[in-house]
Amino acid sequence: MPVDRATGHARGKAEADGADAGAEIEHALAGRGIDGGGQQHGVDGDAVAASAAATAARGRPAGRLRSGAGFHARDHVTTSCRNNRTSPEDYPFNMATVVSLEGKRKAPSLEPLLSLCADDMAQVDREILARMRSPVALIPELANHLVGAGGKRMRPLLTVAAARLCGYAADDDRHIKLATCVEFIHSATLLHDDVVDVSALRRGKPSANSVWGDKASVLVGDFLFTRSFELMVDVGSLDILAVLSRASSTIAEGEVLQLVSQRDTSTPEATYLEVIKAKTAKLFAAAAEVGAMVAGRNGPERVALQSFGMNLGIAFQLVDDALDYAGREAQLGKTVGDDFREGKITLPVILAFLRGRTVEREFWKRTIEKLDQRDGDLGAGADADRPPRRARRHAGARPPLRRHGARCAGPLPRHAAQGRAARGRRLRDRPGALSALPPKTC
C-alpha cells in the first residue's frame, strides 16, 4: 500500500471511530504486557514517540503534522495520534503513521515497532534479567520491580531499531548489551528521580522507594549505573563508551539544573528546554546514536540518528510534562500532579505564568514558589478558572512539540534510504554479510 493510501486509510478509520477535537490531551498507549499483568499501560509521550520511532525504523516520513492555527493562550490544545496498523505483511514497505496534534483519536501504539524488533527485544529482556543478578538478593528484587516487570523499553528499542536500520547483522550481541546498558542508565535515573521527587507511583505500581525506602533506591540505582558501565566495557568500543558516559554525565547535570530551577516561576523557556534536553533527550539521542555506531555507520547515519533521538526525546518530555497536568492517573500508571506538588517548573507552568493575569501569577507564586498548596489547588474542584486548569490549556506546548516532532522526521528518512541502498550495494559486494537482517526485523 503506498504511503498516501495508507495515510488516507488511517485517517478514514480514525474519523469513523468518532475521533474529534477535544478539550484535553487524551492519548494513552496500549502497554506492553511483559509480565502479563497489564500494569504497563502508560503514556510517557508515546503519542509522538511511538509513531516517529516506528517510522524511523522503517525509514519513512513520520507522517504529516496537521497544520493548525497559531498558538493562543486560550486554545484548547490537544495531542493525539492516529495509528494505522496494517497487517504484519505490510510493515516492510507500507507502514506510515499520521501524527496529529489536534483531535481526539485512537491511541497510537509501540506495538508495530516492537513486533518488528521482537526477537532483539526478547534478548534484551533476557540480558536485563541476567545483568541484574547479584548475590545480594535485594538488588534483583528491587531492580526487577522497576526494570524487569515494566516499562515500554523505548530507549533500548531505539538502540536495536537504529542498529538494524543501519544494517547491523553481526552474530554477536553487542547491540543487545548496548540496549540493556541504555535501559539500566534510564532505570538508575528513575530510581533516583523517584527519591528526589518523593513519588509514590511508577508504572502503575508503588514506586521502589515507597516499597523499600529511599536508601535502597539510591543504592540500587547506583548499582544499575555501575552495571551499565560494565556492560559498555564488555562491548569493547571506546567511542561508544565516550558517547554513553558523556550522556550519563549530561543527564546528571540536567537533573541538577532542574533541581535548582525548582520553584522559580521566572525560569525561562530556554532553561526548561536545556533541562529536558539534558535529563531526557540526551539518552534518547545516545541510544539511537550507538545503534548506528555498533553497526559501523559513523557517518551521516550516526548524525541523523543522534538528531532524531534528541528531537524525539524533547517531544517525549514535552508530552510527559503536559500529562502531569492533563493526564489521568489510571491511564498513565503514575501519579499525576507530582510536578505541581514538587514545585517543578515545566512548560505548562512557564506558559501559564508568562501569559497569566495578576491573579494567576499570584496563584503560581503561592503554590510553586512558596509551596503553599491547598485542597483543590490541583484543579480537582469545579472552578473553571483555577490556574492548573489554565496550565492544562498550555499543556500541549504545541509549537515546540510540533517543531521537535517534525525534526524527528527530518534527515532520518533520507539517511535511512541511503542506508537501505548501501545495504543493497554491500550485499552485492559481500553476499551474506548483511543478509542476516530479515526484512521483518526493521
Q: Residues interacting with a copy of itself, by CB under 8 A? A: 134-139, 188-189, 192, 195-196, 214-216, 218-220, 222-223, 225-227, 229-230, 232-233, 236, 238, 241-242, 245-246, 248-249, 251-253, 255-257, 259-260
In 3D space, the residue among 277, 275, 294 whose CA is nearest the CA of residue 181 turns out to be 294
CA angle, residues 184, 188, 191, in degrees to nearest 5:
135
Tell me whether residue 104 or residue 227 sits nearer to a copy of itself (CB atom).
227
Closest contact distance (angstroms) between CB of 43 and a copy of itself is 25
User: Which residue, 86 or 271, is less far from a copy of itself as judged by CB?
Assistant: 271
Least Å distance between CB 269 and a copy of itself?
A: 17
Nearest distance, CB of residue 35 and a copy of itself, angstroms? 23
Give the length of the chain.
442
Please give the backbone phi and psi of residue 288, each rounded to the nearest 5 degrees, phi first: -75, -40
Non-local CB neighbours of 160 within 8 Å, separated by 6+ positions: 117, 120, 121, 124, 175, 176, 179, 291
20 — phi, psi (to 5°)?
-150, 170
* Gap between the terminal Cα atoms of the chain: 17
Nearest distance from residue 201's CB to a copy of itself, in Å?
Answer: 19
Q: Which is nearer to a copy of itself, 233 or 436 (CB)?
A: 233
Sorted by sequence, the CB contacts under 8 Å of residue 241 that are 6+ apart come out as 232, 233, 235
Half-sphere exposure of 342 (CA within 13 A, CB side): 24
* Shortest spacing between CB 71 and a copy of itself, in angstroms: 29
> CB of residue 219 vs a copy of itself: minimum separation in angstroms?
5
The smaller minimum CB distance to a copy of itself, of residues 282 and 423, is found at 282
Task: Record the cell numbers describing residue 400, joined without a space.
Answer: 515546540
* Alpha-carbon span 245 to 255, nearest angstrom: 16
- Residue closer to a copy of itself by CB (options 259, 433) is 259
CB contact at 8 A, 341 and 325? no
Whole-number Å distance between alpha carbons of 361 and 281 = 30
CA 46/CA 402 separation, integer angstroms: 14
- Between residues 83 and 248, which has the closer beta carbon with respect to a copy of itself? 248
- Nearest 5°: the CA angle 223, 255, 156 is 55
What SS3 class is residue 249?
A: helix
Which are the contacts of 274, defined by CB distance < 8 A and separation ≥ 6? 254, 257
Q: Please, which residue, 233 or 380, has the CB nearer to a copy of itself? A: 233
- The residue (of 115 and 245) whose beta carbon lies closer to a copy of itself is 245
Q: Find the shortest distance in angstroms from Cβ 224 to a copy of itself.
A: 8
Nearest distance in Å: CB 251, a copy of itself: 7
Q: Among residues 240 and 305, whose Cβ is nearest to a copy of itself?
A: 240
Report in angstroms how near the CB of residue 186 gets to a copy of itself at its nearest.
13
